[in-house]
């Protein structure tokens, strides 16, 4: 950790504490608002909930400019969410150093994403406009005793606004640089008769690209999306509510923003390939470029369509017991014609394309060849059913939630690839006649999919021994069954279909002791377990590797937490310290060869993770509010059994400790990916004295993220430096116009125009290393008009 970063954190924390201790001039009636969450399946105060949780209200999300789940990561301690290269629709999630960025449709999530209680099964397609967002809750640590799918890192709850009883209308417009336009229209019908109400929402979003394409003359990174939602509420009695929602999202984009940042000199400092490799070597740049060379990335070459039906039934049997049913069906279709990580022209002599029988012929001069190119057509269908029984008994000494969960899905993907290797690599560098030549290879058939099924029973029970002390115990039983297939033109010298199936089961639990020292201070201690099922890796190069699969992984988390308010609720300090043991971690090992970008997954890792979260909110003076969030994560491999890699050449570099397969413990050099040690946010918000026509607020944000890597070993050329982003917003609100309320905001993000990396992929001996970069400086204005219930 650089000294400058340590000094930044120390100075920031010291100045914040000093400021919060100097607030006696405040009026006695000023206090922080209560935050209500539903993290434990019942509405309760954030301060009474013994979980490390961050919650963002509608107003706070508006002030942050958030309309996608991934945008809250900068403000949430120990949460890392990043878009992956080659797509604007795929997120990778990590909480407390536990994350997965794998985009294949057979990979299970480590962080659960829930929309109104419905689990979103895949990282791919997890970027979608949430058209009517009320609240986001981020739960850190294993979540199993209360949630449909048992996720080892944590859960992100997206809660939408329900239909109102009165008529309402809301229109939001956002305009910004790079032709950014966003429109969101919401209509509440109010009560239709005595039993029905509805909310209809439509969202449109478009944005110009970030980078010029010097081959086709288009913009890379442009996007357009449309999303609609219909929410119906039926309340025939005071004790029964039925909520039905239909959501549809259509996105088109060009996500080929992966930039070549490095090309390996394959042998003794010599670029051994032909014209494509040579040009790529010259083009690669560690600094962000304003233009990229991509021949196979036309305008809006990627689509993502999502359709979802959900029905939630809630029946209050009496004052002490509620039955809830959540039924949902979600379909996702996506594809791209232009994943391209750099295209260059053949010279007609040194670039040779292989056919299915490895006969090589020269690629005509002037024809563009990509260093790595893929097309993709994907689909996923999921069905979920969850039943919950929520209640209390024994004069409210006992609170309980028990549930049953069923999940099934079908996924398919067709992902043909073409890529370039120096010909010398195929000969093992033993044939000098191959030097100076490129081999253009392909996997024309790469298809895989699976049918998955999961069932679970869970329960959580809280007993209040006294008014101050309660103890919560949770238990969960899960069964997972998977039936997968793989067709790959490089397996077995033909196009066979490899089939694999397996089952896993797990019982996990949790125990929490929660003690209220007084009305304002609570502490809790928790032990919780998490489980992620095994599976199959589709990017392998042999049928045997696919059918072998990998087993489940488990997490045990120990946590101490504090929930507190001070100075008559003008200062709120919540904190948590944790220690996590991560066993049988599923480790993805990249392999390059004639099969392209292949990789295997093994249960090869054991980690220990320690850290803390601190979330502080304070009213400093009348109108002036400070928010400080800080996260610390120290994640270390204690064992990591895989092949040792030379970070410069990416060739295997086994030591004398390696076994016959070349595997050994590389925990001495491996770094946990996407786990920045320090992260945080500092926000100052000031409400000016009321104006005759409205209210004026000024807000300044500084967010910080420490350096991190994207791969345990192959991280020499594409890790990120520490990142500090400055954002600001000026808002004029509560202006009465035409019987409604008008709000205007001027905003800017990344005001210092930093050029930070977001995600990286090292293609090992294929030669190339690519990175995608975060959004450049952006600025614009919001206009929001509300009438009636909105």
pLDDT tier, 59 (very low <50, low <70, confident <90, very high otherwise): confident
Task: Output the pLDDT for position 136.
Answer: 92
For residue 232, pLDDT over 60 is answered with yes
Q: How far apart are CA 191 and CA 230, in angstroms?
A: 15
Contact 672, 97 (CB under 8 A): yes
Give the number of domains in the chain.
1
Task: Output the pLDDT for position 591.
Answer: 55
pLDDT digits (tens, 9 = 90+) for 530-563: 999 999 999 887 888 899 999 999 999 999 999 9
Q: How far apart are CA 134 and CA 161, in angstroms?
A: 5
**Sheet containing 91-95: order of strands:** 79-83, 91-95, 98-100
Q: H or E element: which one contains 561?
A: strand 553-566
764's tokens: 């090992």
pLDDT tier, 725 (very low <50, low <70, confident <90, very high otherwise): very high
The average pLDDT across 596-618 equals 86
All residues at 6 or more sequence positions from 633 whose CB lies less than 8 Å from its CB, including other chains: 78, 96, 97, 609, 610, 611, 675, 676, 677, 679
For residue 112, pLDDT over 70 is answered with yes
Summary mean pLDDT of the chain = 90
Task: Output the pLDDT for position 496.
Answer: 76
User: What is the tally of helices (H) and strands (E) in the chain?
Assistant: 5, 45
375's tokens: 């097309």
The 3-class SS string of 7-39 reads: HHHHHHHHHHHHHHCCCCCCCCCCCCCCCEECC
Could you tell me which of 768, 777, 779 has the C-alpha nearest to residue 85?
768
Residue owning tokens 């899960």: 478
For residue 60, pLDDT over 70 is answered with yes
CB atoms near residue 420 (< 10 Å): 27
17's tokens: 């504490």
Model pTM score: 0.91
What is the longest distance spanned by two Cα atoms in the chain? 86
pLDDT tier, 145 (very low <50, low <70, confident <90, very high otherwise): confident
In this structure, of 419-423, 425-429, 730-734, the range with the lowest mean pLDDT score is: 425-429
pLDDT digits (tens, 9 = 90+) for 2-43: 454 444 444 444 444 444 444 444 444 589 999 999 888 888
For residue 359, pLDDT over 80 is answered with yes
Question: Rg of the chain over CA atoms, in angstroms?
Answer: 27
For residue 314, pLDDT over 70 is answered with yes
What CATH number does the domain containing 326 carry? 2.40.170.20
Contact 349, 266 (CB under 8 A): no
The average pLDDT across 553-580 equals 96
Could you tell me which of 746, 742, 741 has the C-alpha nearest to residue 731?
746
Task: Output the pLDDT for position 619.
Answer: 96
Higher pLDDT, 642 or 599: 642
Percent of the chain with pLDDT over 70: 93
Using a 10 angstrom Cβ sphere, with 0-12 exposed, 13-18 middle and 19 or more buried, the burial of residue 200 is: middle
Q: How far apart are CA 21 and CA 15, in angstroms?
A: 10
In this structure, of 461-465, 652-656, 673-677, the range with the lowest mean pLDDT score is: 652-656
C-alpha of 199 from chain center: 28
Q: How far apart are CA 72 and CA 140, in angstroms?
A: 14
In this structure, of 386-390, 483-487, 654-658, the range with the lowest mean pLDDT score is: 654-658
345's tokens: 């022209």
pLDDT digits (tens, 9 = 90+) for 477-488: 999 999 999 998
pLDDT digits (tens, 9 = 90+) for 167-179: 999 999 999 999 9
Q: How far apart are CA 416 and CA 488, in angstroms?
A: 9
pLDDT tier, 587 (very low <50, low <70, confident <90, very high otherwise): confident
The average pLDDT across 739-761 equals 95
Range of the domain at 205: 3-788
Task: Output the pLDDT for position 183.
Answer: 96
b (16+ CB within 10 A) / e for 476-499: bbbebbbbbbbbbbbbeeeeeebe
Q: How far apart are CA 639 and CA 641, in angstroms?
A: 6
For residue 430, pLDDT over 60 is answered with yes
The average pLDDT across 582-596 equals 69
Could you tell me which of 784, 696, 782 has the C-alpha nearest to residue 741?
784
b (16+ CB within 10 A) / e for 374-402: bbbbbbbbbebbbebebbbeeeeeebbbb
CA distances from 616 to 75, 563, 569 (A): 12, 10, 12
């Amino acid at each position: 950790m650089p000294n400058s970063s340590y000094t930044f954190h120390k100075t920031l924390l010291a100045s914040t504490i000093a400021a919060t201790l100097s607030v006696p001039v405040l009026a006695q009636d000023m206090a922080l608002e209560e935050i209500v969450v539903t993290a434990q399946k019942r509405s309760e105060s954030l301060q009474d909930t013994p979980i490390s949780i961050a919650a963002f209200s509608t107003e706070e999300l508006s002030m942050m400019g958030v309309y996608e789940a991934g945008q809250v990561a900068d403000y949430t301690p120990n949460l890392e969410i990043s878009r992956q290269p080659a797509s604007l629709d795929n997120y990778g999630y990590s909480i407390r150093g536990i994350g997965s960025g794998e985009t294949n449709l057979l990979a299970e999530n480590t962080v659960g994403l829930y929309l109104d209680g419905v689990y979103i099964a895949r990282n791919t397609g997890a970027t979608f406009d949430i058209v009517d967002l009320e609240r986001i809750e981020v739960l850190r640590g294993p979540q199993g005793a209360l949630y449909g799918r048992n996720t080892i890192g944590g859960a992100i709850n997206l809660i939408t606004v329900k239909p109102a009883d009165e008529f309402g209308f809301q229109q939001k417009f956002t305009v910004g640089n790079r032709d950014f336009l966003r429109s969101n229209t919401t209509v509440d019908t109010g009560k239709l008769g005595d039993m029905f109400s509805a909310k209809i929402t439509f969202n449109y979003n478009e944005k110009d690209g970030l980078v010029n394409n010097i081959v086709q003359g288009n913009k890379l990174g442009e996007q357009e999306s449309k999303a609609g939602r219909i929410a119906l509420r039926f309340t025939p009695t005071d004790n029964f509510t039925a909520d039905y929602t239909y959501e549809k999202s259509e996105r088109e984009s060009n996500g080929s923003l992966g930039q070549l940042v490095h090309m390996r000199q394959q042998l003794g400092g010599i670029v051994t390939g032909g014209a494509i490799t040579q040009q790529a070597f010259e083009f690669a740049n560690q600094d962000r470029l304003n233009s990229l060379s991509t021949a196979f990335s036309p305008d809006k070459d990627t689509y993502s369509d999502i359709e979802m039906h959900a029905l939630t039934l809630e029946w209050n049997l009496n004052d002490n017991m509620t039955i809830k049913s959540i039924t949902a069906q979600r379909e996702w279709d996506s594809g791209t014609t232009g994943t391209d990580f750099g295209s260059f022209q053949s010279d007609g002599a040194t670039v040779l394309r292989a056919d299915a029988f490895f006969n090589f012929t020269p690629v005509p001069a002037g024809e563009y060849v990509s260093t790595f190119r893929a097309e993709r057509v994907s689909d996923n269908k999921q069905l979920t059913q969850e039943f919950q029984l929520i209640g209390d008994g024994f004069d409210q000494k006992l609170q309980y939630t028990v549930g049953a969960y069923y999940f099934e899905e079908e996924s398919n993907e067709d992902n043909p690839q073409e890529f370039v290797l120096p010909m010398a690599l195929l000969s093992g560098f033993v044939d000098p006649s191959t030097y100076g030549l490129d081999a253009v290879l392909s996997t024309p058939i790469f298809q895989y999919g699976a049918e998955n099924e999961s069932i679970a029973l869970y329960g959580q029970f809280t007993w209040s021994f006294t008014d101050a002390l309660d103890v919560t115990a949770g238990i969960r039983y899960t069964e997972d069954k998977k039936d997968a297939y793989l067709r790959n033109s490089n397996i077995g010298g033909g196009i066979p279909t490899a089939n694999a199936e397996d089952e896993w089961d797990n019982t996990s639990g949790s125990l929490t002791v929660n003690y209220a020292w007084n009305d304002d201070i609570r502490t809790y201690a928790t032990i919780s377990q998490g489980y992620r099922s095994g599976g199959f890796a589709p990017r392998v190069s042999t049928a045997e590797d696919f059918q072998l699969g990998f087993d489940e992984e488990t997490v045990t988390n120990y946590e101490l937490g504090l929930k507190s308010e001070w100075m008559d609720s003008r200062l709120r300090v919540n904190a948590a310290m944790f220690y996590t043991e991560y066993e049988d971690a599923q480790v993805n090992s990249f392999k390059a060869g004639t099969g392209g970008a292949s990789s295997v997954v093994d249960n090869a890792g054991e980690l220990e993770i320690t850290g803390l979260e601190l979330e502080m909110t304070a009213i400093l003076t009348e109108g002036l509010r400070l928010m400080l969030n800080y996260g610390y994560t120290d994640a270390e491999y204690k064992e990591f059994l895989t092949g040792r890699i030379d970070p410069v050449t990416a060739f295997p570099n086994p030591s004398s400790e390696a076994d016959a397969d070349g595997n050994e413990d590389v925990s001495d050099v491996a770094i946990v990916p996407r786990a920045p040690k320090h992260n945080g946010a500092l926000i100052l918000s000031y409400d000016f004295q009321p104006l005759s026509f409205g209210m004026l607020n000024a807000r300044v944000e500084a967010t910080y993220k420490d350096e991190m890597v994207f791969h345990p070993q192959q991280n020499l050329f594409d890790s990120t430096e520490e990142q500090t982003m400055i954002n600001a917003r000026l808002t004029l609100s509560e202006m009465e116009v035409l019987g409604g309320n008008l709000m205007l905001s001027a905003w800017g993000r990344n005001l210092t125009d930093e050029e930070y990396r977001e995600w990286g992929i090292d293609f090992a001996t294929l030669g190339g290393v690519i990175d995608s970069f975060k959004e450049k400086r952006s600025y614009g204005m919001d206009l929001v008009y509300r009438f009636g219930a909105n």
